[in-house]
Amino acid sequence: MSENAIGIFDSGLGGLTAVKELIKVLPHESIVYFGDTARVPYGTRSRKTIIRYAEQDTDFLLSKGVKMIIAACGTVSSVAVNLNDDLPVPFTGVVIPTAEAAVKATKNGRIGVIGTSATVNSGSYKKEILRQRDDITVFQQDCPLFVSLVENSFISKDDDIVKLVVERYLSPLKAEGIDTLILGCTHFPIISEAISAYLGDNVTLIDSGRETALYAAQILKENDLLSDSEKPGECHYYVSDTVEDFRRTAEIFLGKSVGDEVSHINLEHAKI
């Protein structure tokens, strides 16, 4: 089973930042990625709907024989907290590893959290941070327009629109004197330069994709599931909407073309 692929899912494209980091951390591992691009965004859905979607996503990945599942979606990780209860393979979301990294990074005990509305409203990051260290003060801000900026290629730190939206969302957190900021949605690292330019060098940004990749590597090692292959791992991508749109936008997240390794799947009719 150690040579089986790692399964990663997200409501759309944001989870590709986790894929990019996982390839850096574990270059010999194969990956199966599912982006539910037909039903994005999850962040504005009800709790019941988010859980149903997440269960369908994990069922699809299990049908591909994956050895581990990563919910690279801040919304799912925050809302579907019991998703791993009945899974036959190791599982992680993004909340625990990201919160751990933020707690280690902060010096003044003032941490900011940004994410989708569902993620922020769930309070998942705040709860996990305070579980680890109850003397920390957490400030939260939902930033729904960040997702639209990224998916429409508004990502430059010098773009006036990007700068305006970043200032609008982050000015309250800056005023609170945070020294650490959790990028609680996997889209957000794409505009991290703009975020950092506004907040300044004294604020440490915590990339949920990066921290989750490191955490996944640790879990695989503990379960003796690391690949023994010396060849680069293969990646295959599945989406629930058009393949062409995914190919075009995926380059922004991965920094490279996905080529022909993309397939369409309709979860409502899939035999899984």
Stated pTM of the model: 0.88
Q: Do the two domains 6-93+210-264 and 95-208 of this chain adopt the same fold?
A: yes
Q: Judge whether 143 counts as a catalytic residue.
A: no
Residue among 66, 80, 185, 220 flagged as catalytic: 185
Structure tokens at 161: 């629109």
Class of the CATH domain delimited by 6-93+210-264: alpha beta
Could you give the residue ranges of the DSSP H alpha helices within the chain? 16-25, 47-63, 74-79, 95-105, 117-122, 124-132, 144-151, 160-175, 192-199, 208-222, 243-254
Q: What is the pLDDT of residue 251?
A: 86
Q: Where are the domains of the chain?
A: 6-93+210-264, 95-208
Q: How many residues does the chain have?
A: 272
Q: What is the CATH number of domain 95-208?
A: 3.40.50.1860
Q: What is the pLDDT of residue 269?
A: 56
Q: What is the pLDDT of residue 206?
A: 98
Q: Judge whether 235 counts as a catalytic residue.
A: no
Q: What is the pLDDT of residue 44?
A: 82
Structure tokens at 9: 């899912």
Q: What is the pLDDT of residue 252?
A: 83
Tell me which residues of the chain have a pLDDT lower than 70: 268-272
**What is the Cα–Cα distance from 242 to 167, expressed in whole angstroms?**
33
Residue among 6, 18, 73, 136 flagged as catalytic: 73
